[in-house]
Amino acid sequence: MDIYHTIIRPLVTEKSSFQAGQSGKERGGAYSFEVHPEANKAQVRDAVEKIYGVKVLKVRTSSRPGKLRRFRYKTGRTSQTKKAVVVVDPDSHIDLF
């Protein structure tokens, strides 16, 4: 899988902005991305390191199932996505804004 197909988009929310700004002695900021549903942690790590030029310490992934939604008289389902939280080196930074 191509690195540009692995990372779909960065998730910029209040929680992800707060996590990106936090940094401690042994951990850097944590950035959230929407990734391809079939991508594994190693592929996400390689893609973020090559696209943004940072050193990745840890990758956490979770699959978010689609939810039922109503529109007028019909019901539908939102698409299921996969989310990855990437923790980078304290010396590294990703500019998402």
Q: What is the pLDDT of residue 25?
A: 55
What is the C-alpha to C-alpha distance for residues 10 and 29, in angstroms, rounded to an integer? Answer: 14
Whole-model pTM: value is: 0.84
40 part of a folded domain = yes
Question: What's the mean pLDDT when you consider all of the chain?
Answer: 90
Q: What angle do CA 59, 16, 24 make, to 5 degrees?
A: 70
Query: Is residue 35 very low, low, confident or very high in pLDDT (cuts 50, 70, 90)?
Result: very high
Full domain range(s) for residue 69: 3-88
Domain CATH code at residue 40: 3.30.70.330
11 part of a folded domain = yes
For the chain, the domain total comes to 1
